[in-house]
Structure 1
Amino acid sequence: MRRPLALALTLVAALAGMTGLAGLAGPASGEQASPEKWPTRVFSTVGKPGFPAYVHVAPNGRVYAATYTNPAGDTMASRVLEWTADGTLLRSWTVPGQDLGRPRGVQVATSDARGRLVLLEKSRAQVLTLNLRTGRFKVQATLPDLPGPGHPIPNYAAWGPGGRLYLTDYGQGVIWRLPAKGGEPAPWLRSKTLAGAGFGTTGIVYERSRRSFLVSQQTTTDPLDLLRGHLYRIPVAADGSPGPVATVWTSGPLDLPDGFGVAQSGNVYVALLGTNQLVKLGPDGTLLAKFPPGPVLGTNGSAIPFDSPSNATFLGTRLLVANQSAILGTASHHAILEVEVGEPGAPLVVPKRSRLR
């Protein structure tokens, strides 16, 4: 998400252009993905400030996403947008209290049991809620700046056991946990495995049947594994502590896996921000398909190609993908794209106890 290292992304783009990523972006295991063509169309374009992040489909059936800032700099606050399930824009809210002198952006991460949106705000590393009836924003928590490299960047969130909220941190290599009724966040898992080489921990989804989290990682700090991303599975023990981190899947170099969605079948659809593709994995991490088959160009058959796709959220049998254009910053590519994959998504987990404050 929301790349603090614009220069590093420019280098990625340059490297992609020089190599074509022809052999570079293949799966680490050597397996070949089957050819796949998923009908794709534009769900909605996204106006200024643009750079849409994760798309959230709420229990009320509406679709929500929010915006980030132009890496070149602007003075606009982030906006939260609301659409119907057919892509009709209904309302928007301007986010208050952002530090307009710093890189900023908002992720609509999930909903709580009261029907509020849970937002992750970058400039102040805060967790907010938005009451859709009153339009009121409320600060729920601020992520601490831990000793060591990096600064807090709240990225994705998911509800877990006991109605607690778990958050990935793109900048600090930690997964945070918030109490069910609100309060200060505490590190749930801090690990070198979650430390990225400028590109850190991204998506998180709770698997209720397995009592575990799936977590995506864009890069690691291992020099032998620096350019590859991963999908991890982290079990939650009976006492709530994290179990051992297991690798489910390893990406190709420069794929930069971002947000993902899980189907009812257990298949996982991951957005590859670095190579402008979607990847379909089996429940055990087996590579099943990549779309489009060729990297970088993002040619998907719609009026707007994939350009830094940052998530894959189910709406029925369709995936809604936020087209962030984080590397090139092409305003006409700032859009939500709709991709038909032919299987339904798993239900969103919103526990009854998920109320925060």
Structure 2
Amino acid sequence: MAAGRMRVLLDGYWWHEGPPSNAMVQRELVRGWARTHPEDELVIAVPAAHLEAVREHVPAGVELVGVRRRPHGVSVMSEYPSVLRRVGADVAVTHNFAPWGVPSVVFLHDVLFQDQPRWFTPAERLYLAPVTALLPRAGAVVTSSGHEARRIERRNRRVGQVRSIGIAPDPRLATLAPVRPQVLAGVDDFVLTVGRLNVRKNLGTAIAAAVRTGEIGPARPLVVVGGPDGRGPGFGPAALQAIEDGAVVLTGHVADAELAWLYRNAALFVFLSLDEGFGLPPVEALSFGTPVVASDIGVFRETIGAHARLVDPLDVDAAAAAIRQELARGRCAPVQPLAWDDAAAALRDTAAALHHGRRRVA
């Protein structure tokens, strides 16, 4: 094989059917890698049942291989090593879980389950336990933000240095023809928040702050996009009343074209999450020129602090004041996000250093 050229097994387990944001990250890293380093031979591992559905969406020249074990973590840990040997790959690039006994780069999305286990169900904690138990066996570890890299290092001293490669919005959102969600027929003025309905997203505070502004009601609702996940948000009586009154609209999951319409037309985006590994929705909103009120937490100071208004996510009055001020200010200029090619190139650079040196990458 030519100098510098690699044959790489890439984790695509979620490509066709998985958590939407995680699936998007897998797809765009593969596509960016294929664009920036066409000399490499890429093999994507996907569930065998999804091979045909995935085949028409992968870049030209990229190979597919089917895996059969479930769920994702079990397949990565126990099946990917034999797959790597069978296809003759030099290194595996996986998500969250490290494959046993082969050279690997692990993209670890976050270790919030270590920092705040109370936000996760017992079943989630049990499933995620091998993530950090096997992490020291990875040849290199990367993640999406410098903030999360430092948390992984702090919580997992045996892992060593973790590299931040960044991530970006789904590029399809900028090119899809936007479609108004049916649930918002006739609604042209609204405030938006996007995220799974769980305790970490702190939606109760976002709803309370939005209502307290006096600016939110059936004529200008707070639109909440996302489905239930893990430990629920535990809405209080005031939030439940706002939902019943139509001041808050819960859409559940929406199609990508509908999400594009929401970002393009929202008067304001609110995101008061208690913590994130990266937190993509406010980055997406800013890329559409939608002003953002978000949590004053470490990762947002890093990723959006220069472009968004950051507030204490537990201070309802401060959040309400920020929402009121940003609504009066109006929409902003779009903020250019990181390019996926840059993230993919950083990931490939990490894998190449591991392959050629068989050592952990700084």
Question: TM-score w.r.t. structure 2 length?
Answer: 0.28
Q: Which has the higher helix share?
A: 2
Q: Which protein is bigger by CA-based radius of gyration? A: 2
Question: TM-score w.r.t. structure 1 length?
Answer: 0.28
Higher RCO (CA-CA < 8 Å; seq separation 6+): 1
